[in-house]
Amino acid sequence: MTDQFPAGLRVVVTGGGTGIGRTTALTFARLGAASVIITGRRAERLAEAAALHPAIVPVRADVATEEGAEAVAAAAGEHGGAVDVLVHNAGIHHIAPLGEIDLKAARDLFDVNVLGTVVLTDRLLPLLRSPGGNIVFVTSPAGHNPTPTVSMYAASKAAVNSLTRTWALELAPRGIRVNAVAPGWVRTEVYESSGMTTEQVDGLFEQAAKGVPLGATGVPDDVTLWITRLVEPSSSWVTGQIITMDGGADLVRARQV
């Protein structure tokens, strides 16, 4: 981290009540953000995150709805009326091989992981600092790797990768940068939320660590630091990039293909 991180930023982090989003919100707040609006559906998780720092502003909002986007815009209006950084982090997971895909779950997944980012970006665009604003997506290596049993999740993240690159071009004339981070295995609630038991997740992570060249799965801070790095002024010539942090697991997959 350089010592040049701009103070007073107005930040929005979707899914900021837990996991990578919570750590991201706290990091921006500690770096001197004026406000960090966090969204999610569970008020108690948002309240826990907001209790960590006075700059964190909880907004209960479903990211997949226009009402949710409206609530975020209203909160942004009350906290400076501008947005410097929008982190599209909210996401859900769905494990099912072809033949067992639940269509409703698949639709929900695309609503949250893809269309929710469209609705919110559209609504906040007039407030996004121009020039100088930043959008950062939290995507996944599944977006660029074939990933059996999670094809819908992988397809949603492939769509997010496309949005990253396409919006980077669309928004470059306004001086707004769009990038993404693609973390590998990070132990958060996302796995239990998709229906796995804690024992299953323990087993999954034990197995996953064995396939990571650096020998370990990640923690939310491994991801958050890259989100803030992409936003800081020293990255001002970087846009449309998807940065993978996964202990080298992507390299092993590439070698196997």
Closest separation in Å from C-beta 203 to ligand NAP: 15
Closest separation in Å from C-beta 159 to ligand NAP: 12
Torsion from C-alpha of 69, 109, 191, 229, nearest 10 degrees: -50
SS3 59: strand
Q: Of 111 and 232, which has the nearer Cβ to ligand NAP? A: 111
Contacts 24+ apart (CB under 8 A), 144-151: 144/182, 144/242, 145/250, 145/253, 148/97, 149/95, 149/96, 149/97, 150/93, 150/94, 150/95, 150/96, 151/97, 151/98, 151/101
Q: Of 89 and 228, which has the nearer Cβ to ligand NAP? A: 89
230: β partners: none
**Of these residues, 5, 110, 137, 153, which one is catalytic?**
153
153 part of the active site: yes
Q: Of 18 and 228, which has the nearer Cβ to ligand NAP? A: 18
- Return the number of other C-beta atoms located less than 10 Å from residue 195's C-beta: 12
Q: Of 117 and 239, which has the nearer Cβ to ligand NAP? A: 117
Return the closest-CA partner of residue 228 out of 125, 90, 63, 87: 87
Q: Of 106 and 172, which has the nearer Cβ to ligand NAP? A: 106
Closest separation in Å from C-beta 181 to ligand NAP: 8
Q: Rule CB under 6 A: which residues touch ligand NAP?
A: 14-15, 17-21, 39-42, 45, 62-64, 89-92, 112, 138, 140, 183, 185-186, 188-190, 193
57: β partners: 37
SS3 221: helix
Closest separation in Å from C-beta 130 to ligand NAP: 25
DSSP class per residue in 152-183: HHHHHHHHHHHHHHHHHHHHGGGT-EEEEEEE
Closest separation in Å from C-beta 193 to ligand NAP: 5
Query: Which of the residues are catalytic?
Result: 153
